[in-house]
Amino acid sequence: MPGFELFGDAERKEVNDVLDNGVLMRYGFDGMRKGHWKAKELESQLQNTFKSKHVQLVSSGTAAVSVALAAAGVGAGDEVIMPTFTFVASFEAIMMLGVIPVLVDIDDTLAVCPKAVEAAITQKTKAVMVVQMCGSMGNMDALQTICNKHDLLLVEDACQAIGGSYKGKPLGSIGDLGCFSFDFVKTITCGEGGAVITNNKDYYLNADHYSDHGHDHVGNDRGAETHPFLGYNFRISELHAAVGLAQIKRLPEFLEIQKKNFTVLREVLSEIPEVTFRRVPEGGEESYAFLNFFLPDLEIARKVSQAFKENGVDACFHYYDNNWHYIRKWDHLKNLKSLFPISIEVKKGLEYLKTKEFKQSDNYIARNISCLIKLSWTEEELKQRANTMLNCIKSAL
């Protein structure tokens, strides 16, 4: 991760197909295409990869979350439970629909804690969104049981977890709807792009129409298509899909490299008794996109994070002091700094953030360091990195 590290002839070939026929839009212009339908081809490849009946490509992972929720009828005044540890896009995508994000604690999987989820359910709750952060998963069986018990949607934000699996099922394919991102720093990239996956035909058709201004995509004349309901523009372009089409075919190659590099680093850090690792639920296999480990306390984690920076160990993140991925510094959310008026329902629904404490989440995120696993490291670079990390941690303890 990320796939752009290994761009090559395969990506150039797919992009050149699009430039050759000149059709950059995924819909229409049938006569000009010379048989090239990159978005359709990528959706077919993703169906096989995710073992899912339906895939709808969209413009981003953020769009995927909004489209997925809208496709299932989640909207104004409803509540969606989500974790305190994620990317800001998670609550942005929820709030764009007028939905109230209800943040709850994580556990040692770094995903939503099932007990915290159950305690947060109200009459307004419509969905639980588990975010498969940093390539691994939450307690999927427990979360599915809770959703079944309360008749709630289980939505998987698997934007960072392509290639991970749980009990033989690809992450993203376990819940009612799965969401993926193919932005520039994901394991496979389109530059910008995302996907909604589901086995529910109604949700798929809704996503297909909603993401293209409500077009029903019936027939071969785009101008004659009807609009069963309102929609918006979350389309992916053929150029972006072309890059993704080359990359998805290389996913096994990328995952093999990630696992090899991950394993080298983990084995070295395992020599330190004070280092522990995030819990992967039994039956799960992470994508190996990130190595996540815990240190004894916040002070040591900060020392290690600083030592990594000073010694050239890049792409390692201490999220406790990061304003992209953890609730602690999301002041723009807590203070509702918006360019347009926020609805009264959402304002009232988010008042809890002014006083709410997330001590359980703090306990994990304060001690966690997350290291991106690159695809382009040479064996010598990987060995040197492992030794530097080892020495930095030992010096901080």
Catalytically active residues, by annotation: 186
User: What's the Cα-to-Cα distance from 377 to each of 1, 244, 261, rounded to whole Å?
Assistant: 11, 22, 8
277 forms bridges with which residues in the sheet?
293
* Residue 127: its H or E element: strand 125-131
Classified as helix, coil or strand, 392 is helix
* Whole-angstrom distance, CA of residue 244 vs CA of residue 123: 40
Instruction: List the structure tokens of 97.
Output: 């629909």
* Whole-angstrom distance, CA of residue 63 vs CA of residue 94: 10
* Residue 45: its H or E element: helix 38-50
**Contacts of 270 by beta carbon, 8 Å cutoff, 6+ apart:** none
Neighbours of 363 (CB within 10 A): 17
Q: Summarize the chain as % helix, strand, coil (round to 5).
A: 45, 15, 40
Considering only CA atoms, give the Rg of the chain: 21
DSSP tag of 25? B
- Is residue 128 within 8 Å of 156, Cβ to Cβ? no
